[in-house]
């Protein structure tokens, strides 16, 4: 029997975990239809966050197994297509079978591959569409997880990454999942994740951290959703020192943390390293204490602006 591991990115978020589970379910159901002997196993690359835990508990779904190395495995990648965010030893995978994602394309592969991306708010949105289009039955649990992932990635439709398709899919899933008010449910999920209390500076930085290679510069961007900014001010100094240490130890050009207030719909930054890049990329004269209204998305706003800056400023490496 062939086993295919369906896996999301490092530092798993709700979309990457729920999409791995749902796509495994979808592909298993498709393979039953065609009588093929394939097994799809959802996997995660590390511990899940509080928000994801809340979603899995709510719908009674088990946490997927942890897989960090691709050696000799057949893998399907969801919610990422960037080598820096994927499994270790990805070049030693038996095969990358397919990629399903909603991030900018940053991928090359020597073989033919099924590669599907759409400019929508979450990977779960694409999977939900597949179920409906192919008329594959979605059970309540899977609908709940897909809905959770859409609400998580679009920050309950407040993120500029939100599209009409996300909203349409959420409406359909809401009924199947038997959720009476998805906005209330979305905020419940966000609050589970948002608490900064009882977390070490390292845990805060790592919670949702992604690494990028921007024109040869190693850039790390973390994002946290905050419900009460007083919590943020209380930990700011400690987190800042830890970021500086991390920049040195791991040789980053820039470490940027984005603290997003989902109710005021904007963010504050903390940086270590190339402060100049941040000022220029975001057209601000200072970083400390500046609230950037409307700045909600790492994928659509923060990362592209920095990438653009580094592409124009090649010499600025450390
Ligand atoms: Mg993700
Ligand atoms: Mg996503
Ligand atoms: Mg995300």
Alpha helices in 5-135 (DSSP H): 14-33, 50-58, 123-134
- Residues with C-beta atoms within 5 A of ion ligand 3: 13
pLDDT of residue 271: 97
b/e per residue 8-26 (b: at least 16 CB within 10 A): bbbbbbbbbbbbbbbbbbb
Q: How far is CA 219 from CA 84, 226, 252, 271, in A?
A: 11, 22, 6, 11
Tens of each residue's pLDDT in the chain, 318 residues = 899 999 999 999 999 999 999 999 999 999 888 888 899 999 999 999 989 999 999 999 999 999 999 999 999 999 999 999 999 999 999 999 999 999 999 999 999 999 999 999 999 999 999 999 999 999 999 999 999 999 999 999 999 999 999 999 999 999 999 999 988 899 889 888 777 777 899 999 998 899 999 999 999 999 998 877 888 888 999 999 999 999 999 999 999 999 999 888 999 999 999 999 999 999 999 999 899 999 999 999 999 999 999 999 865 444
Distance 214 CA to ligand 3 centre (A): 19
Distance in angstroms (rounded) separating the CA atoms of residues 175 and 171 = 7
- What's the confidence (pLDDT) of residue 314? 64
Residues contacting 161, CB < 8 A, separation 6+: 120, 121, 153, 154, 297, 299, 300
- Dihedral angle, C-alpha 151, 153, 159, 160, nearest 10 °: -120
Quick one: pLDDT at residue 230? Answer: 85
Residue 247 CA, ligand 3 centroid: distance in Å: 22
| Closest ligand by atom to 127 CA | 2
Sheet with 2-7: list strands edge to edge.
65-66, 38-44, 2-7, 74-78, 95-101, 114-117
C-alpha to C-alpha distances, 31 to 13, 28, 39, 237, nearest whole angstrom: 27, 5, 8, 53
Classify domain 201-317 by CATH architecture: Roll (3.10)
pLDDT at 229: 83
Q: What separation in Å is there between the alpha carbon of 108 and the centre of ligand 2?
A: 20
3-class secondary structure, 271: strand
Q: Show me where the domains of the chain are located.
A: 2-192, 201-317
Scan for tokens 């749902």, then name that residue.
22
Asked whether the CA dihedral 209, 16, 75, 56 is positive or negative, the reply is: positive
Residue 276 Cα to ligand 1 midpoint, Å, equals 28
Whether 281 contacts 309, CB under 8 Å: yes
User: What ligand has the least distance to the C-alpha of 298?
Assistant: 3
Q: What was the pLDDT predicted at 196?
A: 79
Structure tokens at 232: 């943020």
In angstroms, the CA 210 to CA 222 distance is 6
Contact status, residue 87 vs residue 70, Cβ threshold 8 Å: yes
Give the pLDDT confidence score for residue 315 in this predicted structure: 55
| CA–CA distance, 18 with 16 (Å, rounded to integer) | 6
The CATH number assigned to the domain with range 2-192 reads 3.90.1640.10
DSSP state of 302: I
- The CA distance from 257 to 259, in Å, is 6
**Helix residue ranges, H only, 163-261:** 164-177, 182-194, 201-206, 229-249
Place of tokens 């949105």: 125
Ligand nearest to the CA of 100: 2
Q: How far is the CA of 36 from the centre of ligand 1 (A)?
A: 30
């Amino acid at each position: 029997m062939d086993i295919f591991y369906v896996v999301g990115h490092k530092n798993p978020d709700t979309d990457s975990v729920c999409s791995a589970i749902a796509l495994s379910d979808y592909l298993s159901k498709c393979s039953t239809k065609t009588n093929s002997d394939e097994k799809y196993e959802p996997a995660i690359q590390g511990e899940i966050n509080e928000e994801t835990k809340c979603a899995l508990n709510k719908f009674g779904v088990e946490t997927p197994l942890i897989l960090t190395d691709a050696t000799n495995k057949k893998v399907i990648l969801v919610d990422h297509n960037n080598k820096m965010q994927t499994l270790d030893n990805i070049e030693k995978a038996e095969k990358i079978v397919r990629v399903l994602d909603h991030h900018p394309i940053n991928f090359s592969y020597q073989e033919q591959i099924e590669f599907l991306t759409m400019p929508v708010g979450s990977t779960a949105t694409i999977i939900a569409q597949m179920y409906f289009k192919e008329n594959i039955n979605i059970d309540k649990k899977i609908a709940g997880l897909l809905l959770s992932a859409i609400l998580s990635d679009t920050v309950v439709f407040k993120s500029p990454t939100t599209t009409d398709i996300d909203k349409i899919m959420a409406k359909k899933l809401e009924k199947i999942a038997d959720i009476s008010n998805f906005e209330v449910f979305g905020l419940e999920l966000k609050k589970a994740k948002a608490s900064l209390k009882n977390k070490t500076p390292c845990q805060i930085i790592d919670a949702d951290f992604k690494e990028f290679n921007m024109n040869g510069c190693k850039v790390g961007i973390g994002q946290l959703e905050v419900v009460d900014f007083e919590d943020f001010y209380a930990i700011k100094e400690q987190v800042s020192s830890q970021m500086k240490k991390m920049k040195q130890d791991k040789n980053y050009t820039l470490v940027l943390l984005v603290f997003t207030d989902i109710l005021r719909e904007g963010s504050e930054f903390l940086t270590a390293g190339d402060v100049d890049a941040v000022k220029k990329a975001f057209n601000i004269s200072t970083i400390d204490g500046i609230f950037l209204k409307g700045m909600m998305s790492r994928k659509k706003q923060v990362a592209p602006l920095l990438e653009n800056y580094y592409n124009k400023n090649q010499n600025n490496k450390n």
